[in-house]
Amino acid sequence: MFYNKINYNIYQFLIYSILYMDKLIPTLGLFCVTLISGLIYVKYDEIKIKVMTKYSNIKARQITIEFFESLLEKNPDITLDEAILKFEDVNNEFNSLEEYSKKRHRSVEIYRESYYKLVLHFYQLYKYQCLCNH
């Protein structure tokens, strides 16, 4: 008898759920939209900062790559150190990256590591295209 009562309650719940599902789904949808809207409202400034930072990083990366691209087109044999120096030393005050890095109190390796990852893929692609065109 107890077993039959449990089965009856389960069937009753299933029938109730099916009959009132049309009211349940919009209510849950409205609840979710309200919850998400509230989270966005509360975290709007943080979200905006993260989006703008990501956009700025992408833009800076694009500008850097375009600069190195123009250097490679002008001089395909330019070294990474020379290219970094031209990018960093806008006023052409220094003759080598070593001099520039000492003046900035940084090591040459820091500059090389930073730009190497950024430029390596493009540089390899450029060299490959030059080989294919000949």
Quote the CA–CA distance of 33 and 15 in Å, as a whole number.
Answer: 27
Contact call for residues 72 and 78 (beta carbons, < 8 A): yes
Average pLDDT of the chain is: 79
Closest by CA to 101, choosing from 116, 118, 88, is 88
Closest by CA to 64, choosing from 56, 52, 54, is 56
Q: What is the pLDDT of residues 60-74, one digit of tens each?
A: 888 888 888 888 888
Mean pLDDT of 55-61: 88
pLDDT attached to residue 37: 83
Dig out the tokens for 103 from the structure: 């003046």
- DSSP conformational letter for 123: H
Residue 30 is which amino acid?
Answer: L
Query: pTM for the full model?
Result: 0.56
Number of domain units in the chain = 1
Q: Which domain holds residue 107?
A: 2-133
Q: How far is CA 37 from CA 24, 25, 44, 46, 49, in A?
A: 20, 18, 10, 14, 18
For residue 105, what pLDDT band results from cuts at 50, 70 and 90? very high
